[in-house]
Amino acid sequence: MNISSRNTKYLTILSAIVTVVVVGGAAALTPGDEQVRSTRLIADLVSSIHYSRPRLDDELSSAMLDRYIDALDPNKHFFLAGDVAAFEQYRHYLDDAFRGANTSPAFEIYNIYKLRVEQRIEHALALLGQEHDLTHDESYRIDYEEEPWPAGKLQMDELWRKRVKNDILSLRLSGKKPEEITETLTKRYERILRRTNQQTVNDIYQLFVNAYTNSIDPHTTYFSPHNSENFNINMRLSLEGIGAALRTTNEHTIVQKIIPGGPADLGGQLKPRDRIIGVAQDQGEMIDVIGWRLQDVVELIRGPKNSVVRLLLLPHSSGVDGPTREITLVRDKIKLEEQSAKSSVIEISDGSVMARIGVISLPTFYLDFEARSRGDADYRSTTRDVKRLIGELQQQNIDGLLIDLRDNGGGSLAEATELTGLFIAQGPVVQVRGTRGNIDINKDPDPSIIYDGPLAVLVNQNSASASEIFAGAMQDYGRAIVLGEPTFGKGTVQTLVNLNNYGRRKGQGTGNLGQLKVTVAQFFRINGDSTQHRGVRPDIIFPTADLEDDYGERSLDNALPWARVRPADFARVSGDWFNVEYLRERHDSRVAADAGFKYLMAVADELRRAQDKKTVSLVEKVRRRERDAVQQRSLELENRFRQSRGMEPLTLADKDRDEDDFIEEEDDDDPVLKIKLEEAAHILADHISMRGRYAAHPR
């Protein structure tokens, strides 16, 4: 399309939108000089250093428009079909606009959004004063993502009538009284409007720029000046808070991951994918945060060290009507000592198979950079600690070693390389391909081997980045058998660019321009396969793995694809180490009869059923019956598992229990958490036993 004709269309739609905004009486937001300069720098940076060298063209423009609209109104509760149809005139214009540092379309779209929010909240507040028949047989769609945009005001009014009715019913099911329900929902709806009106130019600009960057890949992100400060705090791990990374989805604040060594990790009550629906300070009022923007929730949770924050949770496994749970956390800094490697011993005695398996649990790949730079002789690092723990375990006469990398999200690449070196002679560990196609190989230069005995690595869907590099190298060398679930699949490298410094170097002036985190490289295993997207596939996959297909990098929009390069020059370890077919047969036979794995599979089925539910009844009796049935099934599953472990059964009244934390022992020795760990130890014990038989009776 000719650019001049695009500009004509743009002016036409701009004129129409401005008219609507003036009629609505809302104050319009417009971009300023800093947004113009930032846009020029970001467009230049992405085109020149991003790993995929993306083209800013009509295809990317189309993706930007869809992503920006979705970011504003993900559940289609504000924009009308006519609004979205009008925005179509931007579909193949945003690339030209962005290239010309013109972000006005984003602000024009937002001004329409702000008007629609004002209209919807006014309607919702009016609905709160009406009677709602909770016996009338009708349903509410909780996930509107795949539905068409409401055609007009009447259809939108009906959608909101059901939404308000559902909000009322949900609070009734949680035990709130009528006056409390009205007060809670009034505050909730008014906050939605207030936060929408309080959005700054920088807020809208960041949202739009990330519609551009996230249309390229999910890890390239722009941080506005305010959010740059928060990002830097998190990177220094000096944030005095709860130690959890959060994101927003459909008006809910979701726990994305738990940071090792933080209050949430040590408390064990907050789980990934839990929804935070309320926040309170110590003994203060619980504030409903449904519909809040992420930054506001983060600032409410953050606070000084040793202060108390209370969170109201809707656990991931509970579904929309599950019981809520309130937890209390004491804010603190992330503790390096709590991130460090720890060891234990599992004794396996299964008929003819007997073995002592040493376990090293590694929550992250850490390195005390400051202490090392100061020249401290005893600075902490993953490799140093693991080396020490291996020595201690060998003194306990272990027969094999298991490295537990479950939930290890990565960390220092150098430590992943050095840790690999403890188990192999010198050689390559990981390949890194940069933007220009150049490949650097990170190697272990030390020929010494600290441990040469039977070795296994246990991973799950949360094992990412440096964890995948270590596990992949162990698998490629044939040095260890990898067990568990396919890993996360985070195989890209990002760098952080300060736009102020970059602009100064480009001679484009300075200002408060923010930062850009941009993907610049990709990891490849020494066999040539990327860890990106697919992750590391274990040699023996536990049955729980099939339940997590929608998780990890492969579930993220626009994740860079799997790729392959030429293998590095390396040699697998000598000898016939693992008879995987034999070990898999033993594993399959064991888990088929194991009450622990049956429990995990049954709980996962319940979870999937709850998460797949797209609509809910608006009849109170039906909702109560469905909720009670879910709780009863969960209790029955738990009690069958407890019985298999010789534990006393529970009743629903026994404790206020988190559906994601079924078992809680006095000594914190959770048998549920041990199910996969013990099976991994069994597999390694089978291998040790098999090797012993082969040694006695050579083939």
Q: Which residues are catalytic?
A: 465, 476, 490
237 phi and psi, to 5 degrees? 55, 30
Strands 400-404 and 353-361: parallel
106, 487, 598, 641 from 603: Cα distances, Å: 44, 21, 9, 11
What kind and span of H or E run contains 681? Answer: helix 671-696
Report CA 217 to chain centroid distance, whole Å: 15
Looking up tokens 């694809």, which residue turns up?
Answer: 561
Residues 79/81/82/84 CA torsion (nearest 10 deg)? 70
- Decide: 118 and 199 in contact? Cβ < 8 Å: no
> What is the C-alpha to C-alpha distance for residues 256 and 277, in angstroms, rounded to an integer?
15
Single out the residue of 683, 696, 690, 670 nearest to residue 271, CA to CA: 670
Structure tokens at 571: 């040699």
> What is the C-alpha to C-alpha distance for residues 549 and 533, in angstroms, rounded to an integer?
12
Single out the residue of 524, 525, 503, 528 nearest to residue 513, CA to CA: 503
Structure tokens at 79: 């924009």
Strands 427-434 and 439-444: antiparallel
First to last CA, the chain: 73
Strands 455-459 and 400-404: parallel
β-bridge mates for residue 312, sequence order: 278, 326
